[in-house]
């Protein structure tokens, strides 16, 4: 085994993710999916490095019956055409089942036409056939027809919910859990819930990264970012409530670092808690119920009426009241830390106090005019344009 692939962490021998994938006879995508599903448990590397796998974890999986076939079957994904063949239905009917929320995607990729291709676990499709065989033959139920006729597509929302739930299960750091939930909100929504810019910047540092780092083209990453955003009013409200709860738990543990703060003990260079190999089991608490309009894990439910969207400010910036009339030259005191006045508003006030007030501009214009007036009270006559030094000399003679 190469020296760079082996190491020790907390007294246990660990190997790199690439080495573990080779020993488990898994491709990179299959290994990442196995980690995401909790089949393979990993540990965060030292100083925020790439996750590593304990050698005993690799040995445990290799000792299972039917290795490596059983392990690869657990992470086998299929597209629409192959999934339809497994269920014995047409691809059109399979697509209708997926759009209605009867099956939940587990992964996706972009084809050469930059269209999103959804992937499904083969084992879950077999469970659907055993659980709801009436969906595979005959006429579709009335709730499915109504949902499809309204143009509903549950695949992005179900994939998003499933991904966030799995990341929360694998994450023990409260700040990392809040960062995972914050992924589902656009910048304007996120700024309304988290008004501290240092906390929003901290989310990007503690957000769990893929095992092999960021892969794919920029178009693929942009597509993933767009699909991660909640796009329905009830889901947005649900994500906001969850983020507030996770953020309260994170603030009780520690505050987000600010420029000049000393690094806290027990954290890595990225300000994250060390991750153990065991899956995270959060303490019991009352969680807000997911809106009934969302469907995942292949359990169809009736849609609900969408609620009114929350009124948003421009780019999530808090409202700033107008400055009272007074001395325009008086400097504006900076807002106290934690005030509702945002960073952009403070910059505007600072620029306003630096001489942009109309009275200040009028006073400066009057001063420039006074400097151009002669002592007798008359302005000097303008010299004709286009004159030369030779004509001026002739005039003096």
9 in any annotated domain: yes
387 in any annotated domain: no
Choose the final residue of a domain: 121, 153, 185. Answer: 153
Domain region containing 20: 3-74
Looking at the structure, tell me whether residues 173 and 301 fall in a common domain. yes
Q: Are strands 52-54 and 12-16 parallel, antiparallel or unpaired?
A: antiparallel
φ, ψ of residue 118 to 5 degrees: the values are -90, 145
Looking at the structure, tell me whether residues 175 and 255 fall in a common domain. yes
Alpha-helix residue ranges (DSSP H) falling in the chain: 17-23, 28-36, 55-62, 69-74, 80-87, 91-100, 122-131, 142-149, 155-169, 174-182, 187-193, 197-206, 218-227, 233-253, 343-351, 358-372, 389-396
> Percent of the chain at pLDDT above 90?
52
- Closest by CA position to 290, among listed 174, 160, 121, 141: 160
Residue 210 pLDDT grade (very low, low, confident, very high; cuts 50, 70, 90): confident
Q: How many domains does the chain have?
A: 4
Looking at the structure, tell me whether residues 212 and 133 fall in a common domain. no
91-105, 225-239, 293-307: lowest mean pLDDT where?
293-307
391 in any annotated domain: no
Looking at the structure, tell me whether residues 192 and 305 fall in a common domain. yes
Looking at the structure, tell me whether residues 369 and 308 fall in a common domain. no
Indicate whether this model's pTM tops 0.75.
no
350 in any annotated domain: yes
- Give the C-alpha separation, 384 to 279, whole Å: 87
Cβ atoms of 135 and 128 within 8 Å: the answer is yes
- Give the C-alpha separation, 114 to 27, whole Å: 23
Looking at the structure, tell me whether residues 110 and 135 fall in a common domain. yes
Of residues 11 and 324, the one with the higher pLDDT is: 11
């Amino acid at each position: 085994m190469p020296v760079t692939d082996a190491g020790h962490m907390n007294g246990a021998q660990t190997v790199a993710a690439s080495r573990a994938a080779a020993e488990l006879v898994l491709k990179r995508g299959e290994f990442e999916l196995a980690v995401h599903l909790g089949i393979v448990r990993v540990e965060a590397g030292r100083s925020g490095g790439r996750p590593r796998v304990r050698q005993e974890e690799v040995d445990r999986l290799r000792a299972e019956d039917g290795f490596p076939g059983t392990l690869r079957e657990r992470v086998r994904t299929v597209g629409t055409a192959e999934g339809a063949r497994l269920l014995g239905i047409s691809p059109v009917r399979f697509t209708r089942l997926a759009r209605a929320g009867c099956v939940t995607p587990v992964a996706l990729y972009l084809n050469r036409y930059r269209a999103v291709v959804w992937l499904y676990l083969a084992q879950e499709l077999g469970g659907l056939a055993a659980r709801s065989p009436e969906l595979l033959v005959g006429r579709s139920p009335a709730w499915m027809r109504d949902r499809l006729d309204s143009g509903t597509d549950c695949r992005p929302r179900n994939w998003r919910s499933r991904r966030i739930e799995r990341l929360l299960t694998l994450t023990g750091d409260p700040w990392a859990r809040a960062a995972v939930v914050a992924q589902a909100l656009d910048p304007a929504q996120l700024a309304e819930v988290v008004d501290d810019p240092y906390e929003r910047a901290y989310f990007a540092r503690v957000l769990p990264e893929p095992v092999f780092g960021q892969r794919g083209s920029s178009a693929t990453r942009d597509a993933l970012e767009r699909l991660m955003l909640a796009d329905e009013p009830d889901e947005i409200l649900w994500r906001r409530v969850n983020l507030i709860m996770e953020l309260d738990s994170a603030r009780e543990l520690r505050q987000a670092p600010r420029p000049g703060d000393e690094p806290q003990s027990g954290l890595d260079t990225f300000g994250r808690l060390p991750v153990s190999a065991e899956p995270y089991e959060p303490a019991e608490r009352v969680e807000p119920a997911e809106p009934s309009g969302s469907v995942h894990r292949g359990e169809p439910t009736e849609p609900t009426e969408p609620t009114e969207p929350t009124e948003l400010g421009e780019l999530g910036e808090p409202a700033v009241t107008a400055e009272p009339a007074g001395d325009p030259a008086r400097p504006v005191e900076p807002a106290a830390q934690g005030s509702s006045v945002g960073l952009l508003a403070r910059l505007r006030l600072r620029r306003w106090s630096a001489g942009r007030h109309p009275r200040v501009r009028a006073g400066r214009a009057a001063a420039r005019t006074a400097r151009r007036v002669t002592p007798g009270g008359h302005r000097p006559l303008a010299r004709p344009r286009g004159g030369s030094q030779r004509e001026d000399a002739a005039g003096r003679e």
